[in-house]
């Protein structure tokens, strides 16, 4: 399909442009009905993550399947013990993360984070600290959040945050709460907008889960464009 070819070229251009992707020639891009599949190898989990983020910025991408293998560059391959020690140091020096409440398990380069924190940004920052380290092949973030706010107040805070965000058209996004869980519905024009809406929901106090049901409406936006 012609549309898939356009999306494929756009994805390849975006991967070439993305500074976090060090060698885009090692990444294969296939597109079918708007679903993008990435194959090949990258040098780190950080590069894999950067490739995923780059693809999500491209208009026309309906879904993404990532089949990238992490193959560390060079002969140095740290042991699981060395990776675990590096993670402990990284978390300790990150003042935003309560490292005493985060447990780390490393199995063949795959890192599992467990424990509990008060805010979503602490959970995200812990994963970011791990993602950048040599030898990490993947991250399972099982850190949980502790609920601590009234659902009605949370809903109002999220709706206000969505309206303040210059990157979002908040009128097409609906917010519903179920205890400490937030459900987002509606439409946006891109994956990045969808992610921005989820980030706004996660930033509210006491939110332990965000069910992002927002769909993409880039087709309509493209037709309306001059």
Same domain, 204 and 177: yes
> Tokens in use for 207?
């939110």
Kindly give the confidence (pLDDT) of every residue in the chain, 226 residues in length, as a single tens digit, with 9 standing for 90 and above.
678 999 999 999 999 999 999 899 999 999 999 999 999 999 888 999 999 999 988 988 989 999 998 887 666 788 999 999 999 999 999 999 999 999 999 999 999 999 999 888 999 999 999 998 989 989 999 999 877 678 888 899 999 999 998 778 788 899 999 988 999 999 998 888 899 999 999 988 888 889 999 998 755 444 433 3
Mark which of 25, 42, 70 sits at the end of a domain: 70
125, part of any domain: yes
113, part of any domain: yes
50, part of any domain: yes
Same domain, 141 and 155: no
Mark which of 42, 70, 98 sits at the end of a domain: 70
pLDDT of residue 219: 54
Q: Which of 1, 3, 5, 8 minimizes the C-alpha distance to 58?
A: 8
Same domain, 188 and 135: no
Same domain, 208 and 171: yes
61, part of any domain: yes
Q: What is the value of pTM for the model shown? A: 0.63
Distance CA 77, CA 74 (A): 8
Same domain, 55 and 105: no
What are 117's strand-pairing partners? 145
Distance CA 44, CA 61 (A): 24
Domain interval for residue 59: 2-70
Distance CA 113, CA 130 (A): 9
Same domain, 134 and 192: no
Q: Which of 135, 158, 29, 32 minimizes the C-alpha distance to 78?
A: 135
Distance CA 56, CA 129 (A): 22
User: If 0-12 CB within 10 Å is exposed, 13-18 middle and 19+ buried, where does residue 81 land?
Assistant: exposed
Residue entry with tokens 């140095």: 76
Distance CA 48, CA 70 (A): 7
75, part of any domain: no
140, part of any domain: yes
Q: Residue 43 sits in a domain of what CATH number? A: 3.30.1340.30
Same domain, 220 and 155: yes
User: If 0-12 CB within 10 Å is exposed, 13-18 middle and 19+ buried, where does residue 151 land?
Assistant: middle
Mark which of 101, 117, 145 sits at the end of a domain: 145
166, part of any domain: yes
Instruction: Tally the domains of the chain.
Output: 3
Same domain, 120 and 178: no
Same domain, 13 and 30: yes
| DSSP letter string, 37-63 | EEEEEESSHHHHHHHHHHHHTSTT--E
63, part of any domain: yes
């Amino acid at each position: 399909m012609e549309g898939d070819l356009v999306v494929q070229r756009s994805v390849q251009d975006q991967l070439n442009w993305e500074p976090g992707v060090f060698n885009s020639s090692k990444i294969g891009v296939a597109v079918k009905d708007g679903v993008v599949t990435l194959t090949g190898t990258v040098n780190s989990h950080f590069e894999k993550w950067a490739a995923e983020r780059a693809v999500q910025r491209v208009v026309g991408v309906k879904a993404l399947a990532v089949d990238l293998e992490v193959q560390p560059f060079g002969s140095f391959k740290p042991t699981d013990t060395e990776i675990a020690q590096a993670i402990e140091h990284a978390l300790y020096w990150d003042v935003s993360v309560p490292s005493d409440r985060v447990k780390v398990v490393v199995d063949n380069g795959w890192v599992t984070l467990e424990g509990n924190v008060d805010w979503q940004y602490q959970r995200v920052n812990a994963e970011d600290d791990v993602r950048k380290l040599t030898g990490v092949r993947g991250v399972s973030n099982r850190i949980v959040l502790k609920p601590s706010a009234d659902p009605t107040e949370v809903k109002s805070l999220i709706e206000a945050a969505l309206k303040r965000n210059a990157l979002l058209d908040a009128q097409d996004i609906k917010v519903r709460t179920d205890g400490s869980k937030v459900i987002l519905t509606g439409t946006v024009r891109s994956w990045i907008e969808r992610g921005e809406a989820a980030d706004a929901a996660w930033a509210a106090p006491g939110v332990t889960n965000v069910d992002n049901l927002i769909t993409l409406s880039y087709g309509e936006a493209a037709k309306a464009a001059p």
